[in-house]
Every structure is written in structure tokens, then in C-alpha cells.
Amino acid sequence: MVVRISGAITDNCGWIMRLAICIALLDNKAQAEPIEKSTVRVTASQRSDNEPVSIVGCLSSSCHGSRNSESPVWQQAGQIWFDDDPHAKAYTQLLTERSKAIVEKLTQRTFSSANAVEYRSVLSQRCNSCHASAHDNPEQLLMGADCQVCHGPLKAWGDSHYSSDWQALKEKRFFGTQRFNTESLASRAQICMSCHVGDLNTLSVAREVNHDLMAAGHPSMHFEFETFLRAYPVHWDRNQDANLFGASVAHKRWQIGQFSQAQARLKLLLARVESVDGKSETHRAWPELTEYSCYGCHHSLSEPSWRQTRDDLPPFDWDAWSLSGLEYVIPADRVPEFHRLVEALKSAIQTHQPSADATRIAVIPLLAFIEKELQICVSESSASPEKIKTDLQLLLQEETGRKTWEAGTQWTCAVVAHLEALPQPNGQAMKTPTSISKQIQSSFLDGPVSYQPMQLDSHRKNFENLLRKVNP
């Protein structure tokens, strides 16, 4: 029996969802015209290569739109996505008053309504690349970031996946096609990062939240892959990852997510600086202020403030989020090399007049290092419970009293990922209790605004108590 998952699943780690771009999608107040689901199967092979195809047929009851909770999860997938997945509301979120206000600030224009042709034109240019599928008919925009965003265009799937021997092909099902292999954690993470971090390299339409858009009111781009997946209303078999990676799947997802986010972040930076020094057809302003921690400039001036006691923080703190969790992932013998490469990049970019060319030169070796570490991580077996426990104990021994909000949040993500990868005495996977999750949520809900590093000490005590329950 498959248990349907609703928005309540975010209780376990809703605090990090506040930090991700997806929080903009979670606002269920966004209203749109109801979309009627067809019961007629759409055969992609009947369409021309250039004609957009409808996913409505995928949601038929005989395919992925079953409402029968006894059906296999793949048969419920489309219905779970349509009912519960925040991505299904990605476009309708753009039609809310909040989004309209953001667009008006961005464009310095006033629009009569969210249905105005001029308003929809701005959405098409600046927003739809993440908030909708590029493969959709215009009238299907209301379906948001649909199946095709994560799985590839419908026409690439054709009829082959209906066959009885299709599963036996394993990874070969995706070779030489436009299908995206979401069974691979690395591929799945890359798909997520293309929107939740940004992508200026592989798509015909840019996916980027720059400082203009952020200043207009776009939500924070902080994202953590494993925490997001743990809170996500999954429309696939939850045992699928466990079958591939064992009981420590949460730890493996966290590792791959950390490397994938750093990779995407550095690729975005590289694309930006290459557009400045003439190595790209698109020219962008430099420095791009979203490269720096928002709170280097935007922070309270009132006292007392943890920020004012941190005299070691640079005035322009480059990306304190995406790489701050990697120290917990990279093997100890390679951490010094990682630090050397990071410091070289920071020396180039953390100045009053950063050189795009010097930044580009510093990014390239660090990106190569991260990509090599990601390949190693993907190829290695999952860590043993003993190794995870040892690493967790080291995490809990860390001095956290001087951690920035970004580093403190990543430390918490790391601890939770380790805890949830440890089997309990009854053989079941550990789950972070709701009481602790609410404490974390209360501490981090407002981000750095109300953050105090000493709050981490109370979290540490709770985590240590959990660890004792796992290993009494």
C-alpha cells in the first residue's frame, strides 16, 4: 500500500524550505483556473518534433493519474504531483499580487493585472524558464514546472516505456535520448540545481536570479538537496534510493547534493565572468552582487548583534552558503587542497574592484577539483553506519559559537543527514522528532535576522540525545 504524502511532510524540516526558492511555490493561496485532466492517452510519436505536446494524457487513470492508494506508486505519480507538489503551482505563483509587485519593482512599470499581455511577456522573458516547462503549449503554463522539466520532453518518451522489458534496460533507457535519468542521484541533483542555483551554460533560456531580481523581492536562493528531498511530497517509490544505496541513503544524498550544489554554483560564477571578459556572447554587469552574502550589507545595525562581534568577516563575503558544507564531505587528506583553492578564489573576488579575469582564472581549478570529488563520491559505496557515527560525533564536537548563519545552517543540515542515516535498534531509519524540528524552524525561520550562534548549542544537546537513543 502506498501512503499519500501531503504538505504536512514539511514538518520534519520545514525550516530549510523557507530558505529555498521553492518557498515561493509553497504558497497555496495562488489561485488559477482548474485544469481538467483528460482520460485520453496522448501518444508522443504522433506529434512532430517541433510541436509541443500535452502532458495531460500522462495524468490519465491508466497511466500516472490514478487516485487509488492501492495502486503502484508510479501509477499515482502524476496525481500526487498535481495535488501536492509545489512545482505544480510554480506558474500560478507568478500570478499572485506578491509576484506582480516583484515584477513591477523589477521593471519599474505598473500592470493592470496579472493577465495583462505586457505582464505575461515579462514572465516569459524572466521567469518561465524555471516556473514552467519550455516544452508546454502556452495554455499549459498553468501546470507549472511539469513532468517535462525533470524527466525530459514528452516526445522523448514515446511509447517505449510502456513495454514490459523497459525496466530491464536500466541506465540504457536514457542513453542517446532526451530523457533525464532521475534514478541517478547526481543527475537528479543537477536537474534541481539548474533552477534552485541557476544555469547559464546548458539551456537555450537562461535560468538566473541576479541582484536586480533579488532586490525586487525574489525569495532567497538558499537550497540544500537532501533536506529538500526529505521534505518533498515524493511521487516515486521511497525504497528506490534505499535499494541502490542501503540504509545510509540520506547520507549519500547529502554528500552528492553538497558537491552538486558547489559545482552548479561555480559554473554559474564562471559563466558570469566569461560574459564580462568577452568569452561569452552575452554581456553581464560585473561584479554581480548575488555572488556575495546578502548579509554582508543587509544586516541590523542595532546592538547587541553577533554580526558586529565578528571582526573576522570580510566586507564582501563571497558565497558563504554553497561551499560552507563541503568541509564535512571532502576526505580529510584533501581538505587542505580545497582550502587553498577556495582562498585563491576569495582573494580574487573579495575585493572592492574584483577582476573578472582573475576570478575566472581562480574558478577553473576549484571547479575541476569539485567535479573530480563528485565523480569519486558517486562511484564509492555508501558509508558504513560506523563511519557515519564517527563523523557525526566529530560534527557534534565542533565549536559553533562563532559560526555565521550560513555555516550554522549547513552544520545543522549535515548533522540531521548523519542522524537520519543511522539505523535505530529496531532496524528502522532515524527520523528527526517534530519537537526538535520546530525548535530548528523557530531559530532559522527568519534567517540571519534573528539568528544567534549560541542557538546551535541547544540543537547540539538535542542531537546528542538522539544519538544516545540510536546507540544506547
Instruction: Report how far residue 141's alpha carbon sits from residue 33's, in angstroms, rounded to the nearest whole number.
Output: 11
Average the pLDDT over 120-133 and give the result: 91
Confidence at residue 351, expressed as pLDDT on a 0 to 100 scale: 87
The single-letter code of the amino acid at 354 is: P
Confidence at residue 155, expressed as pLDDT on a 0 to 100 scale: 78
Average pLDDT of the chain, as a whole number? 78
Q: Is the pLDDT of residue 356 over 90?
A: yes
Q: What three-state secondary structure class fits 220?
A: coil
Taking a C-beta distance cutoff of 8 angstroms, is the pair 354, 291 a contact?
no
Instruction: Report how far residue 295's alpha carbon sits from residue 299's, in angstroms, rounded to the nearest whole number.
Output: 5
Could you report the per-residue pLDDT of 48-89, keeping only the tens digit for each?
A: 344 444 566 677 777 888 888 888 888 888 888 888 899 999
Which grid coordinates are listed for 214? 533579488
Could you report the per-residue pLDDT of 287-336, keeping only the tens digit for each?
A: 999 998 877 777 667 776 666 665 555 567 888 789 989 989 999 999 99
* Residues in Cβ contact with 313 at an 8 Å cutoff, skipping those fewer than 6 apart: 296, 307, 404
Helix (H) or strand (E) holding 212: helix 211-215
- In degrees and rounded to multiples of 5, residue 423 shows phi and psi of -75, 140
Q: Is the pLDDT of residue 100 over 90?
A: yes
Confidence class for position 264, pLDDT limits 50, 70, 90: very high
Q: Is the pLDDT of residue 268 over 70?
A: yes
More confident residue, 176 or 112: 112
Could you report the per-residue pLDDT of 157-210, keeping only the tens digit for each?
A: 776 676 767 776 777 777 667 788 888 899 999 999 999 999 997 766 789 999
Q: Is the pLDDT of residue 374 over 90?
A: yes
pTM for the complete prediction? 0.83
Could you report the per-residue pLDDT of 398-438, keeping only the tens digit for each?
A: 887 777 888 888 898 899 889 888 876 666 666 666 556 65
Confidence at residue 46, expressed as pLDDT on a 0 to 100 scale: 36
Could you report the per-residue pLDDT of 207-231, keeping only the tens digit for each?
A: 999 999 999 999 888 899 998 888 8
Confidence at residue 152, expressed as pLDDT on a 0 to 100 scale: 85
* Residues in Cβ contact with 361 at an 8 Å cutoff, skipping those fewer than 6 apart: 348
Confidence at residue 94, expressed as pLDDT on a 0 to 100 scale: 95
- In degrees and rounded to multiples of 5, residue 330 shows phi and psi of -70, 135
Confidence at residue 35, expressed as pLDDT on a 0 to 100 scale: 33
Confidence at residue 93, expressed as pLDDT on a 0 to 100 scale: 94
Q: What three-state secondary structure class fits 391?
A: helix
